[in-house]
Amino acid sequence: MTNFTLKSTVQLRGSGIELPLLGLGVYRNDDCKPACLAALKHGYKHIDSARMYRNEAEVGDALRESGVPREQVFITSKVNNPEHGYQKTKAAIESSLRNFNFEYIDLMLMHSAMSDKERRLESWRALVEAKAAGTVRAIGVSNYGVKHIEEIREAGYEMPDVNQVELHPLCQQKHIVDYCIANGIVVEDYCPLIRAQWNIPALLKVTEKLGKTPAQVLVRWSLQRGFVPLPKSSDPDRVVTNAALYDFEISAEDMKLIDALDRGKDGAISWNPVDVD
């Protein structure tokens, strides 16, 4: 019996809507419909896409085919870096709505800060206006460092609901996480499964003790840390297995073992452009 109670959603402070804590990532999955259908059949209520992934249409088709009502599933997309700027971001949002064939997108993120301050803020203004118009329910950022979010505050705009960053035991982004927590920004983590680089003695010790897969332990670690993990798999069976997280708990002692794996920036295994100018 587990004593650690996990919520299923977190409320986004800026919009008041509920974000499901476990999401399916569909990065680099051109044929993501089978994974999406498996996820929706087995209780996932959150799918994380992006314009750069070029699979928004497949996500929308999967949701309609699943029979799950649109309002019960939280769908995210992201404005691609070359689309920064007010007019380009407005056009990107309209394009995404057409791709999904939705009337609204639950969460729209800036995919990274990889342009310049002026264009980032122009894009943010476009996102704020889209939220006010109801075509986007919540807005946020991805791969943003503290200085990039501070630009938004200093410009007098509403703050992001979410910051999605590479985050896992090897790369815990502590400075960014502390800032986000202090400012009521939900932290979503991509690459929570460390791209299956699991030959880590401390991790394997915990998985053996619990009788769980490394993927399950890594996602459970993220949930117990208060993050929103977005595990990706193109295999429908693994999509289901990765969500079997609620019949066990990682003890405080074992959480410390996993926490101690942090290598800072050296632990990054992906893009992680949080320090760009």
The residues annotated with a catalytic role in the active site are 53
* Two structure tokens written together for 182: 């202090």
Rounded CA-CA distance 226/233 in Å is: 22
Rounded CA-CA distance 243/239 in Å is: 7
Secondary structure class of 105 (helix, strand, coil): strand
Considering only CA atoms, which of 189, 133, 121, 104 is closest in space to residue 160? 121
Q: Are strands 18-20 and 46-48 parallel, antiparallel or unpaired?
A: unpaired
- The DSSP output letter for 160 is P
Burial class (CB in 10 A: 0-12, 13-18, 19+), 72: exposed
Rounded CA-CA distance 122/273 in Å is: 20
Q: Considering Cα of 19, then 168, then 255, then 186, what sign does the dihedral take?
A: negative
- The DSSP output letter for 109 is E
